[in-house]
Amino acid sequence: MIRKVAALVVPGVAPFELGIAYEVFGIDRSATGGPSFDFTLCTPEPGPVMTKGGFPVVVDAGLDAADDADVVIVVAYDLLDTDGHVDVPAAVVDTVRRAHDRGAWLLTLCTGAFVLGAAGLLDGRRCTTHWMYADLLAETVPTAAVDPGVLYVQDGKILTSAGTAAGIDAALHLLRTELGGQATRNVARRMVVPPQRDGGQAQYVVDPVPDDATSLRDLLDWMRAHLAEPHTVPTLARRAMLSERTFARRFRAETGTTPASWLVRQRLARAQELLEGTTASVDEIADAVGFGSAAVLRHHFTRVLRTSPSTYRRRFADVAS
């Protein structure tokens, strides 16, 4: 059970990522069904800490405040020194090592992964960071399996995330793992963000969204509302009033994937919600989300989420408690 969360703040800290740590773990959401944690900021030298944005934040606690935390967050910071070399504060490295040794969760936001790398905690592990720094992380920690194309990676109790908003996804994944689906949805609802984006989702879409793609966005909303129905490229293209070729190209530009893959992800997300929040059978859920049979649902669940629907329900169901 998570009770105390400590975010490590160093000079050059990224304000947005620091805000993510506070937004997810620092706000008491008990009045709306969410969790409440003992959240603290700590730094090697307490006092004003200059952010990457050029303004300071005042941090009163030293790094010893993280020594009894259940979750230690390594917030992104301006990684390179004036000579262009990777700069990792030694005291912060020692702090994350101690946290790992006692079994705490370690969550890194963007360049925070380099701290774990310097601590030897990414050796032999799959991990990620912002795609702009992925090659540098792989060069700095050659024994790590750096995946530059995903939002976040969990390996044991080490959770690394890509840049900026991917930190929200990683933090919510940690909440879901520890507290279950309902508490996570309550937090996500207050933040006005999706309660879950799969960690394997691409960090970015290569092609820009066309300016005239509003009709496709409307179609995506319609598809989400009609997941149980069969969908094909020809029928979807007609609904979008586009040729099949233009539709397929625009769909990939806007979503980063194909219609079939997008539908599988959306159906899985809805199946997860139903497994968490209802007593419907796996067969009923498979039919409700458009997979047609429990066997097809189990196939996609195992392939994408690396678990079975029944195991997922036992772990995250709200109605079972």
Which tokens belong to 53?
């944005």
Contact by Cβ (8 Å): 307, 316: no
Exposed, middle or buried by CB within 10 Å (0-12, 13-18, 19+), for 137? buried
Is residue 110 part of the annotated active site? The answer reads: yes
Q: DSSP letter at 6?
A: E
As a whole number of Å, the end-to-end CA separation of the chain is 16
Kind and range of the H or E element at 74? strand 71-74
CA quadruple 76, 77, 83, 89: dihedral sign: negative
Task: Check 7, 66, 71, 110 and give the catalytic one.
Answer: 110
Positive or negative torsion for Cα 236, 238, 240, 243: positive
% helix / strand / coil in the chain, to the nearest 5? 50, 15, 40
Distance CA 3, CA 19 (A): 19
- The continuous run of DSSP H or E covering 277 comes out as helix 259-277
- Active-site annotation, residues: 110
